[in-house]
Amino acid sequence: MKRMVLGLVVIIASLMSYFFVQSTPVDSIAYTPPPAPSLNGVMTPNTLLQKAILLGKGKFDGPEDTAIDSKGRIYAGTQDGKIVRLLQDGTLETFAETQGRPLGIQFDDKQNLIVCDAYRGLLSIDLKGNIKILSTSAEGTPFQFTDALDIATDGSIYFTDASYKYAQSEYLYDLLESRPNGRFMKYNPATGKTTVLLKDLYFANGVALSQNEDFVLINETYRYRITRYWLKGIDKGNKEIFIDNLPGFPDNISSNRNGRFWVALFTIRNPIADALHPFPFLKDQMSKLPKIFWPKPKPYGLVIALDEQGNITQSLHDPTGKHLKEVTSVREYSGYLYLGSLHNDRIGKYRL
């Protein structure tokens, strides 16, 4: 019996030694998040998102972002690399297949669907579903995680590469590492040139232009903040924090150039993740574990509205996450908000 116990101890010790000496997929640094803000005032939890109509429930596979064409048809990119189209009679059809993972999508003034595909880069899809690759790299560095976009009235496409280091399937590694691996860029359709406007962003995600297109907002998901980059005026070319210490992970952001921004928050802050951030060694060890053992996001639906001064003016919640959760995009169209999700099987339609 003693030999069996000793042998078991040796085996466990060997496995632990192997675990700690094996290489880690991340190179974490310490980060001490600010205390999460209280959900009160305009952020007081409510059940407004539970009133949303659920479109295509059970038919979608992760409709991360949405776009609506001139005929009122709804488009979304799904986990299996498709751009699907929901017709007004409820029929779901395949519009195009990118062979990647389409994330941010938006129509340009020629009714081409511009797509940020996490794996294939910046794409343009015409009305017949034909795909054209617009850009796959900038300054000699390939896009690793093409994420979100907005289109200016002059046709310029502003978009993000969430992480030049980790692919979409590895986005949680970027969270653990806590390094600024994201970039913000501009694509000029007249020249076909892509210019890097900002580097060193902490998971560069959603993009939205202001009412006068004098500035653009970029969500830094893993710093719980939104950054403003000035396109015009005396501050042109400068950046600043627009709003900081949000109560959740800001994903996509949108604007109809009406002075109001809509921000989708993937979930509320995770106390375990925040407590782990100051300890790189622990984060490195966690990265070796199967993701089933990592801290789980709380099922929660959350959308906020911001004015152009960075004030939160409204919040919409589903605290249960049973109706809508992990909201990754929110788009205003004809009196409704359309809500996408990275993993869910539905699109929410909320009447304003």
State how far the Cα of 29 lies from the Cα of 159, in Å rounded to an integer: 27
Q: Which residues pair with 193 in a beta bridge?
A: 188
Q: What DSSP designation does 49 have?
A: G
Assign 3-state DSSP to the chain and report helix, strand, coil percentages, each to 5: 15, 40, 40
Task: Give φ, ψ of 90 to 5 degrees.
Answer: 95, -5
Mean pLDDT of 216-244: 98
State how far the Cα of 13 lies from the Cα of 35, in Å rounded to an integer: 38
Which string of DSSP letters, residue by residue, matches 70-109?
TT--EEEE-TTSEEEEE-TTS-EEEEEE-SS-EEEEEE-T
- Assess contact for 317 and 45: CB atoms under 8 A: yes
- Assess contact for 138 and 194: CB atoms under 8 A: yes
pLDDT at residue 13, as a whole number: 40
Task: Give φ, ψ of 251 to 5 degrees.
Answer: -105, -100
Mean pLDDT of 224-252: 98
> At residue 155, does pLDDT exceed 70?
yes
- Assess contact for 302 and 265: CB atoms under 8 A: yes
192: exposed, middle or buried (C-beta count within 10 Å: 0-12, 13-18, 19+)? exposed
Mean pLDDT of 228-241: 98
Q: Are strands 121-125 and 131-135 parallel, antiparallel or unpaired?
A: antiparallel
pLDDT at residue 60, as a whole number: 92
- Mean pLDDT of the chain, nearest integer: 93
- The predicted-structure confidence for 260-305, as pLDDT tens digits, reads as follows 999 999 999 999 899 999 999 999 988 888 888 888 889 999 999 9
Mean pLDDT of 241-258: 96
Supply the pTM of this predicted model: 0.94
- Assess contact for 120 and 103: CB atoms under 8 A: no
Closest CA to 114 of 80, 88, 152, 167: 152
pLDDT at residue 24, as a whole number: 87
Q: pLDDT band at residue 10, thresholds of 50, 70 and 90?
A: very low
> At residue 40, does pLDDT exceed 50?
yes
Q: pLDDT band at residue 23, thresholds of 50, 70 and 90?
A: confident
Q: Are strands 66-68 and 74-77 parallel, antiparallel or unpaired?
A: antiparallel
State how far the Cα of 166 lies from the Cα of 172, in Å rounded to an integer: 9
Mean pLDDT of 24-40: 95
pLDDT at residue 147, as a whole number: 98
State how far the Cα of 341 lies from the Cα of 267, in Å rounded to an integer: 11
- The predicted-structure confidence for 170-194, as pLDDT tens digits, reads as follows 999 999 999 999 999 999 999 999 9
> At residue 12, does pLDDT exceed 60?
no
The structural domains of the chain, ordered by start, are 39-351 (2.120.10.30)
Tell me which of 203-212, 221-230, 280-289, 311-320 is least confident.
Answer: 280-289
Closest CA to 304 of 268, 333, 344, 258: 268
> At residue 164, does pLDDT exceed 60?
yes
| Distances, alpha carbon 174 to alpha carbons 164, 186, 332, in Å | 10, 23, 30
Closest CA to 62 of 340, 348, 350: 340
Q: Which residues pair with 338 in a beta bridge?
A: 331, 349
pLDDT at residue 21, as a whole number: 56
- Assess contact for 240 and 204: CB atoms under 8 A: no
Q: pLDDT band at residue 216, thresholds of 50, 70 and 90?
A: very high
| Block residue for tokens 């042998």 | 7
pLDDT at residue 20, as a whole number: 53
> At residue 239, does pLDDT exceed 70?
yes
Considering the chain, what percentage of its residues have pLDDT values greater than 70? 94
CA 212 to the chain's CA centroid: 24
Mean pLDDT of 126-140: 96
Helix (H) or strand (E) holding 205: strand 204-209
Mean pLDDT of 104-124: 97
pLDDT at residue 290, as a whole number: 85
Angle between helices 2-21 and 280-288 (to 10 degrees): 110
> At residue 138, does pLDDT exceed 70?
yes
